[in-house]
């Protein structure tokens, strides 16, 4: 056991501690934390225990299953981008787009928050990352773990571990990162703005929405086809009401299984010699900037929209434009209620929140189309 | 607009081949700014079109209602409610508040186990 591996094991235990003691995103941080611990236990190289022992001969490219570890088979779903679309299927099957359908202008906040992705891309390029790496680092600002992993697996597999850990860490830290930015960019009066209750949405609208939205997204950005297709497919399963069993499986058993496998194998991929590098630290730094810029962009765009709207938007709602569903919407509710305990912003914040999921998948599609 | 020299100095690979959205070459800093502008514009266009489609959907459904078949299990209650029959704003707020408190209590009871951020 050397120092780097010891440090990583401590990081894994810290993640488990945050999940168990602080209840920070336990469904993500606990599997990732345990994966980090497992992936950093030193072992003899001929024992076939590591994630990176995938059975492929580095010279000939021949596959020999006797040289592949069990962890590498689980990691296959991450490495080849299989898990993220399945998670999007589950997200679609559990997401209610009603608040978005009832107040379509809030969708634009989900677009504004994607500014963080592209600003960080430029920043990462300037400090020396390659274009593909910069694109993958930028997508952390979308605060969307599956999208980050999907794009990393396609464009920069070498950065998959740091990208996944950074994305999920910042998602777990939404309640810590976002409130100071929200307080700094809004006045007390703005935080007290009450928004009109959303209208009722008919079943027909809910059923037609995933089909229409999918066609718009896929025809303009075919690169987003896989993620967006699975997201809206899951939502159609839910809203059609004729495939309740499938929808139920997608939003419970399937997404749980994939989350376990993804979290654990991503954690196990953070083997110290590959993870504890200057590059990883830079990725963490840029990821934080990306996330902060995305939050600020959403808030500022809400304030900009208020210049033209008669019924004002509470600018806090703009912060939910980063995906991180539903945590960033909950943070909006929490900060809003600190100023006015009778102001209920949660349902309004869910609109830019789910729009942010679509926005970050579209941004990933644009970047994938550019660099594939 | 003049691009600062430090931006140009940071160019990763000076390959200029191909167009901005089709080339697989490394980006220069200038190209990265262009790509970012195009990228965010595409995101805005897509989400604006979705917003537009959602905004016009109720009117279209109302117009074409006689020709649209009823969905499986759809009842008249699923149709747009008559505003005159809707609850007054004050009562809607009370219902929303009760719903919110119930939701919070149920989440506490379940120890928030189902509330993963994705």
Asked if A213 and A358 touch (Cβ cutoff 8 Å), the reply is: yes
Q: In this complex, is the C-beta atom of A367 within 8 Å of any C-beta atom belonging to chain B?
A: yes
Q: Is the peptide bond before A326 cis (omega within 30 degrees of 0)?
A: yes
Q: Is the pLDDT of residue B21 over 80?
A: no
Residue A259: which H helix or E strand, with range? Answer: helix A255-268
Which residues on chain B are in Cβ contact (under 8 Å) with A326?
115, 117
Neighbouring residues of B62: CB distance < 8 A, sequence distance ≥ 6 = B80
Residue B27: its pLDDT value, please? 83
What DSSP assignment string belongs to A192-228?
T---PPPPP--HHHHHHHHHHHHHHHHHH-GGGHHHH
Q: Token pair of A79, please?
A: 């490495």
Q: What is the pLDDT of residues A187-244, one digit of tens each?
A: 999 999 999 888 889 999 999 999 999 999 999 999 999 999 999 999 999 999 899 9
Q: Token pair of A108, please?
A: 């634009």
Name the β-bridge partners of A68: A54
Compute the average pLDDT of residues A69-78.
90
Cα–Cα distance measured from residue A232 to residue A235, given in angstroms and rounded to the nearest whole number: 5
Residue B79: its pLDDT value, please? 54
Q: How long is chain B? A: 118
Q: Is the pLDDT of residue A256 over 90?
A: yes
Q: ipTM > 0.85?
A: yes
Query: Which residue has better confidence, A71 or B65?
Result: A71
Neighbouring residues of B7: CB distance < 8 A, sequence distance ≥ 6 = A126, B29, B30
Asked if A141 and A322 touch (Cβ cutoff 8 Å), the reply is: yes
Residue whose C-alpha is closest to residue A321's, from A105, A107, A96, A104 = A107
Cα–Cα distance measured from residue A179 to residue A173, given in angstroms and rounded to the nearest whole number: 11
Compute the average pLDDT of residues A85-105.
93
Cα–Cα distance measured from residue A25 to residue A143, given in angstroms and rounded to the nearest whole number: 14
Q: What percent of chain A has pLDDT over 90?
A: 64
Residue A1: its pLDDT value, please? 74
Cβ count near A176 (within 10 Å): 11
Nearest residue in chain B measured CA to CA from A362: B43
CB contact under 8 A, B39 and A26: no
Q: Is the pLDDT of residue B20 over 50?
A: no
Of A134, A197, A209, the CB nearest to B89: A197
Residue A142: its pLDDT value, please? 81
Cα–Cα distance measured from residue A175 to residue A354, given in angstroms and rounded to the nearest whole number: 18
Asked if A156 and A136 touch (Cβ cutoff 8 Å), the reply is: yes
CB contact under 8 A, A242 and B72: yes
Compute the average pLDDT of residues A322-336.
89
Give the least confident one: A63-77, A141-155, B36-50, B72-86: B72-86
Compute the average pLDDT of residues A38-59.
81
């Amino acid at each position: 056991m050397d120092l780097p591996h010891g440090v990583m094991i401590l990081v894994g235990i810290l993640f488990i501690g945050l999940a168990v003691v602080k209840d920070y995103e336990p469904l993500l941080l606990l599997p990732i934390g345990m994966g980090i611990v497992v992936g950093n236990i030193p072992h003899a190289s001929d024992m076939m225990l590591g994630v990176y022992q995938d059975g492929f001969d580095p010279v000939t490219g021949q596959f020999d299953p006797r040289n592949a570890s069990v962890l590498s088979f689980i990691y296959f779903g991450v490495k080849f981008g299989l898990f993220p679309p399945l998670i999007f299927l589950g997200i679609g099957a559990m997401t209610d787009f009603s608040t978005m359908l009832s107040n379509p202008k809030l969708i634009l906040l989900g677009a504004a928050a994607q500014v963080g992705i592209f600003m960080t891309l430029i920043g990462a390029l300037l400090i020396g990352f390659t274009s593909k790496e910069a694109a993958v680092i930028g997508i952390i600002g979308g605060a969307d773990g599956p999208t980050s992993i999907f794009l990393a697996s396609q464009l920069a597999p070498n950065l998959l571990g740091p990208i996944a850990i950074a994305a999920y860490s910042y998602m777990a830290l939404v309640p810590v990162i976002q409130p100071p930015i929200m307080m700094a960019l809004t006045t007390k009066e703005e935080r007290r703005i009450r928004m009109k209750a959303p209208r009722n949405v008919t079943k027909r609208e809910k059923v037609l929405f995933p089909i229409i939205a999918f066609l718009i997204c896929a025809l303009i950005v075919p690169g987003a086809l896989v993620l967006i297709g699975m997201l809206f497919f899951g939502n159609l399963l839910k809203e059609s009401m004729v495939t309740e069993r499938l929808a139920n499986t997608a939003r419970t058993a399937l997404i749980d299984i994939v989350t376990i496998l993804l979290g654990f194998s991503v954690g196990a991929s953070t083997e110290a010699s590959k993870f504890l590098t200057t590059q990883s630290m830079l990725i963490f730094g840029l990821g934080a900037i990306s996330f902060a810029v995305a939050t600020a962009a959403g808030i500022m765009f809400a304030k900009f929209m208020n210049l033209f709207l008669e019924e004002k938007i509470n600018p806090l709602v703009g912060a939910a434009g980063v995906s991180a569903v539903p945590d960033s919407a909950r943070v909006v509710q929490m900060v809003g209620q600190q100023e006015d305990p009778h102001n209920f912003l949660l349902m309004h914040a869910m609109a830019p929140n789910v729009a942010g999921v679509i926005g970050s998948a579209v941004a990933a599609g644009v970047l994938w189309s550019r660099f594939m | 607009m003049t691009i600062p020299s430090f931006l140009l100095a940071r160019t990763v690979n000076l390959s200029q081949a191909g167009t901005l959205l089709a080339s697989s070459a490394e980006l220069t800093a200038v190209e990265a700014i262009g790509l970012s502008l195009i990228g965010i514009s595409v995101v805005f266009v897509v989400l604006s079109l979705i917003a537009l489609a959602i905004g016009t959907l109720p009117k279209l459904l109302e117009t074409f209602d006689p020709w649209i078949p009823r969905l499986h299990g759809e009842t008249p209650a699923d149709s747009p409610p008559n505003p005159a029959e809707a609850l007054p704003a004050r009562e809607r707020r009370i219902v929303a508040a009760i719903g919110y408190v119930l939701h919070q209590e149920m989440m506490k009871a379940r120890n928030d186990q189902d509330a993963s951020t994705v």
